[in-house]
Amino acid sequence: MTKRLYLVRHGETPMNAARLLQGITDANLTVKGRDAADRLGELLQPVPFAKAFSSDRTRTLETAKRILAGHEPKPPLVALSALREYYFGGLEGDPGNAIMARTIRRYGLTTSCRAWVGAKRFPGLVRSIRNADPTHQAEDFPDLLVRSRQAFEQVDAQSPDSSDILVVSHGLLLSALIYQLVPDQLPFSLLKNTSVTRIDIVNRKMRVRGVNLTREKDILALRHEEPEADDNAAKNKSK
């Protein structure tokens, strides 16, 4: 009874290309983003997706539709607002490096660097964003963790058992889930556009099978990898 979730960060947008904080701001994909989504769709074409989920932003919906373009029959695609990106508040549209500059000015270089390394790096980044927001509207770290878990609980509840599920979402939202499962596997630069992370749900427990995969050979290997047997199957096999 294994559900195999293929988690994909959306393709590149103009704001991504310009290194601007996007958050919940809507945007289409760039040509590069569309091409990457099409290529990923080719790599994942043999995966028999039973259902697909996306945030309700244009960039994720477009990415999901392009990935599923070659699938017949096409699985239903469900838009979930819970899968939206982290909300940057008054920082949306600002350069990404502005957060680092503001944090250093406020706390000093040494304190800032300590917050961005090791196991505290991801929560330190999110807290730096919230502290740098002059409007105090940016999402806080505990709320992001709760929302990411609730989003995937919705995906799990709405997905058939023993199936392959496509989930297209955003960099920080997906990173929040990965951080809660395998914090040491979260990449330093977080997740790349159109990267694939696979999580298997076995007996309602999440098991990470690959994180931030972008190379063709890695995605192909992940696609052909056999899922772990669930606990009951493993017990029966050992008898």
* Enzyme catalytic residues: 10, 85
Is 30 labelled as part of a ligand binding site?
Answer: no
Name the strand (E) or helix (H) holding 49.
strand 49-54
Is 206 labelled as part of a ligand binding site?
Answer: no
Q: Tell me the CA end-to-end span of the chain in Å, nearest whole number.
A: 19
CA–CA dist 195, 171 (Å, integer): 10
Q: What is the per-residue DSSP string for 169-221? A: E-HHHHHHHHHHH-GGGS-TT-PPTT-EEEEEEETTEEEEEEEEE-SHHHHHH
Is 4 labelled as part of a ligand binding site?
Answer: no
Is 183 labelled as part of a ligand binding site?
Answer: no
Is 14 labelled as part of a ligand binding site?
Answer: yes
Structure tokens, 6? 């293929």
Is 15 labelled as part of a ligand binding site?
Answer: yes
Is 59 labelled as part of a ligand binding site?
Answer: yes
Structure tokens, 24? 């919940």
Is 12 labelled as part of a ligand binding site?
Answer: yes
Binding-site residues: 9-16, 59
Binding-site residues for substrate: 9-16, 59
